[in-house]
Amino acid sequence: MKLSDLSKLLFFLIILINFNNSYAEDEIDIWKKKSSNDINKKIENKKKKIESPLINKNTITTNNIIQEQSFPENNDDDSLYGIWDPDKYNFELSMWANTDGKNIQKTISRINKLELSKTAENILLNTLFSYSYAPENLSEKDFLEIKINWLIKNKKDNLIEQFLIKNNDFPNKNKIIQYLVDRNISNSNIKIGCEKVNFIGKDIKDPYLEKFKIYCLVFNNKKSQAQLLHDILKEQNQSDKFFDNAFNVLLGVSENKNKKIKDDNLLNFYLSSITFPNFKYEPNDKTKKSIWEYMNSANLIKIDDITDKKKIQNIEIAAQKNQVDKSQIFKIYKQIPFELNTLINAQTVYQSLDKIESRALVYQKFLLSDNTKNKLDLLFLLKDLFKKDNLSNIYTEFLSDKLKELELSEIPENYLSTVEKNIISNQSLNQQKIKFDDKTLHRSKLIRYFYEKDYPIKKTQKELENIHKKIKRNRNYFYSAKDVAVLESLENDGIVIPKEINHKGLSENYNIPDSLNDLAIKGEKGYLALKIVEIIGEDEVNNLDPETIYFITNLLNKLNLKEFRNEILSTALPLRI
């Protein structure tokens, strides 16, 4: 190569390097300007509508959303925590912008006292865990606390794991991870619990979780790593004598020097149960729920003295609270001894016995009966005895199972209705076959539009016209509130309603609560969804009255919340067999 050519090449490289450096600097300056502008604007107090970004639903992260919106990074006030892209349910990031945070807290507090039906719970989940900003007067930390507390209270383990995966860092992360750890200990799933250690990142400095991490290393036979972490924990003054001693026992380097079982938390109690020789513990009415659950799953609940009524009562109370397997109660009842004459005259003698013995006697008499009528008499007598002492939760499923075992042909006619009411159906509404009736609009084939995904609008339009022709022949046909809900929903989605059907005039017969209508007018999508959850409450939608179905769907149509509307209509309308 000639010297002149080499000089040209060097000159070209210098120009190229300077250009790249200049371009990179320009990029940095532009980003800084964008960040500065965003901070000053503060999203215009979060009241201006923010269009939800297009996000890959399989890889949605908080950072994706922030970058798509060009919002400032690492700003705690504008953090986003959730599971689903708000677009999925037609929400926006600003869905709570016009809502008073105190009202949200009060509504959630009331909802938490309810045993929500499946539909109500689905709406709550999809609303609360769609990515969004917190309301103006509720900090993001407090809003996040509402979400975390709900997941923990309702034991939504799978959703908690999804939440941890999609939200890398958030306040009180250790709380939700400790819940997962304790859940697996209480269910004696130590292996699975140790797999959850992966959620405990280096950023979490929590002694409880660090101790569990150390135990898992021992459990997986990684003793040298466990020793190293334990030494670090001691240096940081985060360990204690109880754990140090239990750790040495687990390593096999010393005998147990702990003199007292520690039950201040589940991890300490678990370590006590596996390191104390001849472990024995008597739970009582003050024992923590998690400890009851662990003792139950580890088969540590035993009655050495069947005459100890106080202990039996404590176990009954725990079973009523779902802390102990209910079948344990019937095993205990079976152990209580009675004389033959007492058993023979059980249906009169039980009244002279104490509460526990009376239930045990009637139960044993039931086991000895071979006549269907006698069995039914005893089963429903036992139901009354459980109900009298506020222990119905123990007995409801047991009664249902025993009634299912009886031959239908042998059940006396006067018992048939009572038996039917006390049998719990394991078949969900969605599993039941739908029977269409094209003579009734809200039970016709039209309703497939609401529960079959991507059902063609053209096909629905044609079906509506055909069904209308059939209905016209019945001059006495009455358009019900459910019919009007169907017609309004179809029209909302672009389907043309026959002119002869004056559905708008029909809708005037039904009132919509002013307070809820105001929320729709203000565009308070999130808060209105919570109010609908509260209205549905413990009832499944198919048990709500037609007027309530109408005004709920009317409100959802106004805010274009089609996913929720379709779920409600597909549950409330079909005739199932």
Q: Are 362 and 382 in contact (CB under 8 A)?
A: yes
pLDDT given at position 227: 96
- Angle 87-89-93 (CA atoms, 0-180°, nearest 5)? 50
For residue 415, pLDDT over 50 is answered with yes
Give the global pTM.
Answer: 0.77
pLDDT band, very low/low/confident/very high, at 459 (cuts 50, 70, 90): very high
pLDDT given at position 293: 93
pLDDT band, very low/low/confident/very high, at 91 (cuts 50, 70, 90): very high
pLDDT given at position 136: 83
Q: Are 416 and 427 in contact (CB under 8 A)?
A: no
The token duo for 300 is 């540590």
For residue 389, pLDDT over 80 is answered with yes
Domains of the chain, residue spans: 156-281, 319-421, 433-576
Nearest CA to 489 out of 571, 537, 552, 576 is that of: 552
84 phi and psi, to 5 degrees?
A: -110, 145
pLDDT band, very low/low/confident/very high, at 576 (cuts 50, 70, 90): confident
pLDDT given at position 64: 35
Q: Where are the beta strands (DSSP E) in 1-74?
A: none
Per-residue pLDDT tens for 215-238? 999 999 999 999 999 999 999 999
pLDDT given at position 429: 56
Per-residue pLDDT tens for 434-444? 889 999 999 99
Return the HEC string of 484-542: HHHHHHHHHCCCCCCCCCCHHHHHCCCCCCHHHHHHHHHCCHHHHHHHHHHHHCCCCHH
Counting every residue written for the chain, the total comes to 577
pLDDT given at position 202: 72
pLDDT band, very low/low/confident/very high, at 6 (cuts 50, 70, 90): very low
Distance CA 86, CA 94 (A): 10
Distance CA 458, CA 92 (A): 30
A 10 A CB-CB count for 306 gives 14
Q: Is 575 helix (H, G, I), strand (E, B) or coil?
A: strand
Q: Are 217 and 223 in contact (CB under 8 A)?
A: yes
pLDDT given at position 213: 94
Dihedral, 541, 542, 543, 545 alpha carbons, nearest 10: 90
For residue 172, pLDDT over 90 is answered with no
DSSP H or E run through 434? strand 434-435
Per-residue pLDDT tens for 523-569? 999 999 999 999 999 998 989 999 999 999 999 999 999 999 999 99
Distance CA 541, CA 120 (A): 8
- Angle 426-125-156 (CA atoms, 0-180°, nearest 5)? 65
pLDDT given at position 546: 95
pLDDT given at position 334: 94
For residue 373, pLDDT over 50 is answered with yes
Nearest CA to 553 out of 539, 543, 566, 544 is that of: 566
Sign of the Cα pseudo-torsion (427, 430, 431, 436, in order) = positive
70: left (phi over 0), alpha (psi -120 to 50) or beta: left
